[in-house]
Amino acid sequence: MSELSRATVSRLPRYLRLIEDSADSRTVSSEALAAAAGVNAANVRRDLSDLGFQGTRGVGYSAPALRDRIRRELGIERRRKVAIIGAGNLGTALARYSGLSKRGFDVVAIYDVDAGRIGQLIGDVKIQDLEEMPSDCSFGCFDMAILAVPASSAQPVTDDLVAAGIASILNFAPIRVTVPDTVAVRQVDLSTELQILSYYG
Amino acid sequence: MSELSRATVSRLPRYLRLIEDSADSRTVSSEALAAAAGVNAANVRRDLSDLGFQGTRGVGYSAPALRDRIRRELGIERRRKVAIIGAGNLGTALARYSGLSKRGFDVVAIYDVDAGRIGQLIGDVKIQDLEEMPSDCSFGCFDMAILAVPASSAQPVTDDLVAAGIASILNFAPIRVTVPDTVAVRQVDLSTELQILSYYG
DNA sequence: TAGATTGTTAATCGATTAACAATC
DNA sequence: TAGATTGTTAATCGATTAACAATC
């Protein structure tokens, strides 16, 4: 089985969202998916074809079957366990975001170094000492991490996560972190986003 | 003057960051820029050529001149004024991020609807009533907005911003907003990022 | 001159899209 | 059958890269 292109993978969540947000309809057309994702209908058909997912000519695609297929492809056919590192304003905001649960992700742990925060609850998750993070990760409590720490801590924390066997990292710290090829990373940088916007605005 | 490609624009902030973060060196090579941005050196040379920026063979590119050129291209040769809409955990985290100032952006206003928050200070900016936002925007107090509001408010607030003449919107609310073609928008969605990571992780 | 590095070309690669036969 | 919509091809478009002459 060949890999999906990066472009295709980046569109799958948009297709999934349309299906999940329109709970009732049995079928969905490439045209509808295209409109929701902001792409061309031929592009959608190509994407789903690459996925090995077949529709019915004259009818469309089975919405529940497509939902399951995309979830399986994305690896969220079972729920994923996520840890949030850093319980400052950003980490707290991310932890409180209830949409995560709806999309297949459970925040199972939150870590911080501040003794004043450790032990407090965010939702129903207790903030733990960051020192417990590596063993929890090694133990398989979670396999995805969201970095919401200061720039200075981002790389050291990343190194600890990698050593503990993390699979994926979403980095909100304002600095790029480096990892081995075995670990998937995405970086969200506020300044970069604003600079790109500034060009177009 | 033809437009830069989207791919080129998305790399300019990475080149700029390298130069800004290594304050002392007079020249920078395409090889160094490529390593920092994670791309091919030929790609860098093509990008800078598209920008109309010339280096010196055998030497490299003038770092200060390139910095100025990229800033000008991105529209941050003068500082940009940014408003943050929503003073919850996320908005507060974004407002407190001092890196913004270093990258050419000044947070000049923060708005919220919560009477308990209005009047409080974040850094040296006072949280204002959201009702004052449209007139402030029309008056030119800011021309970029960061949305850190709940999903249900994102589209209405966006509509108000558009009506008031906003140039660019960075949307952190977990929902896609629609705007006229005249307005630049970027959406940062936590669930989508995690779903893409989940595929690769 | 010798070494380094740009600027540009041509080739390649990857992604998008129009178009339409297939078929429900 | 008639209308709708997929699945796929071929064309096109956009972006990347190797290679190397130009030249500092």
Task: Quick: pLDDT tens for B74-122.
Answer: 999 999 999 999 999 999 999 999 889 999 999 999 999 999 999 999 9
Nearest to A74 among B16, B80, B198 (CB): B198
Cβ–Cβ contacts within 10 Å for residue A156, how many?
11
- pLDDT of A1 > 80? The answer is no
Chain C positions with a protein C-beta closer than 7 Å: 3-9, 14-19, 22-24
**What pLDDT shows up at residue B1?**
42
* Alpha carbons A106 and B25: distance in angstroms, whole number: 46
pLDDT digits over B33-43, tens only? 999 999 999 99
Q: Can you give the distance from the CA of residue A43 to the C1' of nucleotide D12 in angstroms?
A: 14
pLDDT digits over A125-177, tens only? 999 999 999 999 999 999 999 999 999 999 999 999 999 999 999 999 999 99
Which nucleotide is nearest, taking the CA of residue A43 and each C1'? C16
Contact A200 B9 (CB under 8 A): yes
Return the amino acid letter for A8: T
Nearest to A197 among B94, B100, B186 (CB): B186
pLDDT digits over A46-105, tens only? 999 999 999 999 999 999 999 999 999 999 999 999 999 999 999 999 999 988 999 999
* Alpha carbons A61 and A66: distance in angstroms, whole number: 7
As given in the structure block, the two tokens for residue A172 are 């909100």
Predicted confidence band of residue A3 (pLDDT cuts 50, 70, 90): confident
pLDDT digits over A13-39, tens only? 999 999 999 877 899 999 999 999 999
As given in the structure block, the two tokens for residue A10 are 């980046």
Query: Which residues of chain B are within 8 Å of residue A191 when distances are taken between CB atoms?
Result: 13, 17, 99-100, 102-103, 105
The helix or strand, by DSSP H or E, that contains position A194, with its residue range, turns out to be helix A190-200
Write phi, then psi, for B166 (nearest 5 degrees).
-65, 150
Q: How far is A56 from chain B (nearest CA, A)?
A: 27
Nearest to B100 among A76, A191, A196 (CB): A191
Share of chain B above pLDDT 70, in %: 99
**What pLDDT shows up at residue B2?**
59
Residue corresponding to tokens 């995690």: B194
Mean pLDDT of the region B131-154: 97
Instruction: Tell me which CATH code domain A6-74 carries.
Output: 1.10.10.10
Contact A191 B14 (CB under 8 A): no
**What pLDDT shows up at residue B6?**
95
Pick left, alpha or beta for residue A191 (phi over 0 → left; psi -120 to 50 → alpha; otherwise beta). alpha
* Alpha carbons B143 and B164: distance in angstroms, whole number: 10
Contact A194 B144 (CB under 8 A): yes
Nearest to B73 among A17, A185, A199 (CB): A199
Supply the mean pLDDT for chain B: 95
Question: What DSSP assignment string belongs to chain B?
Answer: -PPPPHHHHHHHHHHHHHHHHSTT-SEE-HHHHHHHHTS-HHHHHHHHHHTT---BTTTBEEHHHHHHHHHHHHT-SSPEEEEEE--SHHHHHHHH-THHHHTTEEEEEEEES-TTTTT-EETTEEEEEGGGHHHHHHTTS-SEEEE-S-HHHHHHHHHHHHHTT--EEEE-SSS-----TTSEEEE--HHHHHHHHHHH-
Question: What DSSP assignment string belongs to A38-56?
Answer: TS-HHHHHHHHHHTT---B
Query: Which residues of chain A are within 8 Å of residue B167 when distances are taken between CB atoms?
Result: 201
Per domain, the residue ranges of chain B are: 6-74, 80-195
pLDDT digits over A174-194, tens only? 999 999 999 999 999 999 999
Q: Over A56-124, what HEC string results?
A: ECCCEEEHHHHHHHHHHHHCCCCCEEEEEECCCHHHHHHHHCCHHHHCCEEEEEEEECCCCCCCCEECC
* Alpha carbons B95 and B109: distance in angstroms, whole number: 9
Among B84, B80, B105, smallest CA distance to B93 is for: B84
Largest CA distance in chain A: 62
Contact B191 A103 (CB under 8 A): yes
Nearest CA in chain B to A37: B176
**What pLDDT shows up at residue A201?**
87
- pLDDT of B183 > 70? The answer is yes
Contact B143 A200 (CB under 8 A): no
CB within 8 Å of chain B, chain A residues 107-136: none
**What pLDDT shows up at residue A80?**
97
Mean pLDDT of the region A4-18: 96
Quick check: helix, strand or coil at residue A170?
A: strand
Task: Give, in words, the CATH class of A80-195.
Answer: alpha beta
Query: Which residues of chain A are within 8 Å of residue B165 when distances are taken between CB atoms?
Result: none
Contact A201 B75 (CB under 8 A): yes
| B194 in contact with A, Cβ within 8 Å | yes
Contact B13 A192 (CB under 8 A): yes
Give, rounded to a whole angstrom, the gap between the first and last alpha carbons of chain B.
42
